[in-house]
Structure 1
Amino acid sequence: MRVRVLMLSVAMIGSACSAQGTQKLPRNAPEATVKNVPATTGRANLRETPPPFTMTRIGTFAEPFALAMLPGGAALMTEKAGQLKLRWADGNVVTVSGVPRVAKVDQGGLLDVAIAPGFAANRGIYLSYSEPGKNGAALALAHATLKITQVQCVRAPCPAQASLEGFRVLWRSGMNGVGGQFGANIAFAPDGKSLFLSSGERQRFTPAQDPEQRLGKILRLTLDGKAWPGNPQYKAGGVRSETWSTGHRNPYGLAFTADGRLWEEEMGPMGGDELNLILPGKNYGWPVVSNGDNYSGKPIPDHPSRPDLEAPKLWWNPSISPGGMIAYSGAMFPGYRGNLFIGALGGQALIRIVVTGDKAMAVAQWPMVARVRDVAQAADGAIWLIEDEGALLRLTPKR
C-alpha cells in the first residue's frame, strides 16, 4: 500500500514549479491507459541508524551543487549562482575565473563538474549548467582546461589562482523554456573514451517518451559531445543517435561499479524515487508508470502495470529525494568497497546500497544534519559530502 505525504508534496511542487513568463507546466502525468498492478517488491525505505563515522566540517559554500576531487587532495565545487570554487588540500579556497553565465532559475544554475579522463596530462574538466536563452533555460555541457597560476604576495605565500581556458560548449539539450529538473550528471565510461550525461524532463512529463527530444534521457556522447557510435540507434541520426536510455524523470546520480555496470538514481514524483541499472536502449517508464503519484495525489500506474518497461531495482515511497551518488572503492572503509552511497535531500541522510551483479539491496540509512546534495570519494578513501545549506563534510570511521 502506498504512503502519501501530501503536505510535503504540495510544498515541493510549489517551490519546484515556479513558472517563467506565461508558460505553464502540466500538473499531472498523462491519463493512464492500463489498469494499475501494484509494486510489491523493491521498496527500500529503512529506519535510520546511528552513523558509523565521524563528521568533520572542512568548508562552507553558497548553494553548492556538485563536488569533484582533483589529484593531490584538492577539490572543485560548483555553486548554483555560477561560481566554481577550488579548495586546495590545505583548506584555502579560490574562485575559478572563466565560468560561463548561467540561468539560476527553478533548480537550474551551475550544476555538475567532472574531471576529464587523463586529467593529470590534459587538465580538462567538464561542466553542465542551465544556459540562458531567449525562450528560457536549457541544459548545456561544456569543456575547458583548468589553468593554475601561482601568485606571489608581499608578506606571505598566496594560494595559487585558477581559471578556465579554451571554454567551449559541446552539447545543448534544446527545448528551452520553463521547468527545473535538469538532471545534468556526468559520468565517464570505464575506458575513458566516452561520457554519459543525464538530462531531466524539466517537469514537462511527455518529453521523456519522445524520441526526438533530449529531455528525460541518458545520453552517451564522445568526449567532444557527439553521438557515441556504439549507441543503440546511432544510425538513425539526430537525438536518437545520442540516446542510451529513455523514460527518465530527474536523474541526479550516475556511477559505474567495478564490473562495468552503470547505475542511476532519480527523483520520482510524490514517492517513487528510483535506483536503476541502466541498459542500452531500455525505456524506464516515466511518465507512463511510476511507483509514486502525481503531486496532486492523482495515482500513476505502478511499474508492474507495464512489464515491457524497465522497472527500478529499488524504489522509495515516501521520497528520499536522492542527490549525488558514488560507487565506493577506497581504503578507509574497506567493508564498503563496491557499495553505492546515495545522498538524500528531502531524507537528509546518507544511504548505503550493496550491489551484487545486477541486484541491489538497501542496507543502511544514516541521518545527517541537513540535505545531502552530492557525495565524493577522496584519494585517501574518506567520503566527502556537500549539503544544501553549504557545509562541506569529511566522513571518517569512528575510533
Structure 2
Amino acid sequence: MKTFLLFWAGALAAFPAAAQTIQSEEHAFRVVTLVRGLEQPWSLAFLPDGRMLVTEKAGRLRIVKDGKLDAQSVAGLPEVTVHGQGGLMDVALHPGFSKNRLVYISYAARGADGVGTEVARGRLTGHRLDDVQVIFRQSPKGNRGQHFGSRMVFDRQGYLYITLGDRGEMERAQRPDDHAGSVIRLHDDGRVPKDNPFVGKPGWKPDKYTLGNRNQQGAALHPRTGVLWTHEHGPQGGDEVNVIRAGANYGWPVITYGVNYGIGTKIGEGTAKPGMEQPIHKWVPSIAPSGMAFYTGDKFPKWRGDLFVGALRAELLVRLRLDGEKVLREERLLQGAVGRIRDVRAGPDGLIYLLTDESRAVLARLEPAG
C-alpha cells in the first residue's frame, strides 16, 4: 500500500495547475483538468502503479499515465457493439489484481436475439488483455438502444455484482426468467453462487440477485457495512438511490416516482406497494444520475462518509450526507461547470475524479484549495 501511494504522490507533480476555487458547504476545492480529448468515456479504474484505465464507448480501453493519455489503446478486447446507449462501458479490477492482473469490462455485444450487456475478463500485460474470457452474457438480449446498465462491483467476499437496465422494455424488469432490470451476482469466474436468492427456484435465472430495476448506472460498496448501493435512472423524474438486498424487488415499472415522458401520465400502480422496496433517496425532476462513489479519503475530511453522484442531464455533482441508510441533506456542486458527468471515483490518493460524457470529454479531479 505504501508503494501504491508513493506512485500516486509522484504522479501529482506532473498534473497541470489548478483553476478557480469553489466554496462548498464544507470545503473549498478546485477542479483540475488532467486529460482532454477523450471520446465519450464511461468509466475509470486505478492501477496499483499510479496509472489509470479509462473506457471509451466506441470500444477503446485507454491508459492514462502521469496525467497524459497514452496514444496506444489496450488490445485484445472482445468485439464491442455500439448500439444506442450501449458500447464499452465499465472497467473494474479483480480484488487480487496485483497478483493475477485480471481486468473486467462490461460492454454491449450482438447475439442471435439482438444486443445485450456482456462481461469479460482478461490479464493485463502491457497494452494487451490476454486469456480473455466472457463470463456473463445477458439473456435474452434485445433490439432497442436503451438501458444497458452497467456497473461492476466486487464485494469484500469477492463476489462480482453487475447492474443491468430493462433495455427500454419496462415489463422485462419484473420477469423472473430475464436478466434485464436486475442486479446479477457471480463468482469472479462467472459461476453462480449457491446462496443466490433464486437458485433452485423454477423459472428464475439463478444469477439474478434483484429485480424491478430500471437502468442502474451507479454502484458502490458502503465503506462501513460492505453492502452494495446503486442508483438508477427514473423516467421523467423518479431517479433513485437504493440499498441492494438479496431477492428484493425494487418495483419498476409497477411503482415509480416518475411519469411518462412528455405527457406526464402515471406509470404503473403508484409510488408504493407491499413487497416492493422504497428508495432511500429520489430526484424529481430527474437529474439523470451516472457514476457513484463513497468518499473515505483524508484530503476532504468533512466529506468523509458522504456519497457522491454524477449527473448527466443536470450537469452537476451531488453530495449526499448520510446517517446510516438515511440521507440527511443534499448539496449540488459544479452545476454546469464541467458538463455531463458520466463517472465519479474516489482515488487512492484521497481525491475525487470525474469523467464527462462528450465527444471531446475530460478527466478531471477535485483538489483541496488553500
Please give the range of the TM-score, normalised by the shorter of the 2 chains. 0.7 to 0.9
* Equivalent of 2:250 in 267, 279, 284: 284
The C-alpha deviation readout for 1:214-260, integer Å capped at 9, x for no partner, is 00000111101121222112233775321111100001111111222
The match for 1:398 is 369
Cα deviation, residue 91, structure 1 = 2.2
The match for 2:116 is 138
Question: How far apart, CA to CA, are the structure 1 residues paired with 2:68 and 2:56?
Answer: 17
Cα deviation, residue 204, structure 1 = 0.2
Question: How far apart, CA to CA, are the structure 1 residues paired with 2:198 and 2:192?
Answer: 10
**TM-score, length-normalised on structure 2?**
0.87
Is 1:107 matched up with 2:85? yes
The match for 1:32 is none
Q: Which moved more, 1:232-241 or 1:81-90?
A: 232-241
3-state SS of paired residue (2:254): coil
The match for 1:357 is 324
Is 1:325 matched up with 2:303? no
Q: Is the 8 A contact 2:214 2:232 kept in 1?
A: yes
Question: How far apart, CA to CA, are the structure 2 residues paired with 1:359 and 1:274?
Answer: 13
Is 1:55 matched up with 2:55? no
RMSD: 1.8
Cα deviation, residue 361, structure 1 = 3.2
The match for 1:311 is 278
Residue 341 of structure 2 aligns to which amino acid in structure 1?
V
Is 1:244 matched up with 2:209? yes
The C-alpha deviation readout for 1:188-234, integer Å capped at 9, x for no partner, is 0123x211111110010111000000000001111011212221122
The match for 2:185 is 220
Residue 192 of structure 2 aligns to which amino acid in structure 1?
A
1:320–1:174 distance in 2 versus 1, CA, 3 Å: same
* Equivalent of 1:205 in 167, 170, 194: 170
Q: Is the 8 A contact 1:303 1:311 kept in 2?
A: no
1:166–1:194 distance in 2 versus 1, CA, 3 Å: same
Question: How far apart, CA to CA, are the structure 2 residues paired with 1:294 and 1:91?
Answer: 43
Question: How far apart, CA to CA, are the structure 1 residues paired with 2:135 and 2:292?
Answer: 24
User: Aligned residues, how many?
Assistant: 338
How does 1:1-399 map onto structure 2 within 5 Å? 52-60=28-36, 61-93=38-70, 94-148=72-126, 162-179=127-144, 180-191=146-157, 193-236=158-201, 239-258=204-223, 259-295=225-261, 296-300=263-267, 304-366=271-333, 367=335, 368-389=337-358, 390-399=361-370
The C-alpha deviation readout for 1:139-195, integer Å capped at 9, x for no partner, is 1011101002xxxxxxxxxxxxx111011100101222222110111000123x211
Question: How far apart, CA to CA, are the structure 2 residues paired with 1:248 and 1:310?
Answer: 10
Question: How far apart, CA to CA, are the structure 2 residues paired with 1:270 and 1:333?
Answer: 34
Question: How far apart, CA to CA, are the structure 1 residues paired with 2:348 and 2:298?
Answer: 9
The C-alpha deviation readout for 1:327-374, integer Å capped at 9, x for no partner, is 111121122122111001111011111222222234211023200000
Aligned-pair identity in percent equals 38
Q: Is the 8 A contact 1:69 1:376 kept in 2?
A: no
1:200–1:85 distance in 2 versus 1, CA, 3 Å: same
3-state SS of paired residue (1:381): coil
Q: Which moved more, 1:260-269 or 1:89-98?
A: 89-98
The match for 1:11 is none
Q: Is the 8 A contact 1:332 1:382 kept in 2?
A: yes
3-state SS of paired residue (1:121): helix
**TM-score, length-normalised on structure 1?**
0.81
Select the structure with the greater relative contact order (CA < 8 A; seq sep ≥ 6).
Answer: 1
Question: How far apart, CA to CA, are the structure 2 residues paired with 1:118 and 1:58?
Answer: 28
Cα deviation, residue 393, structure 1 = 0.3
Cα deviation, residue 99, structure 1 = 1.5
Residue 250 of structure 2 aligns to which amino acid in structure 1?
Y
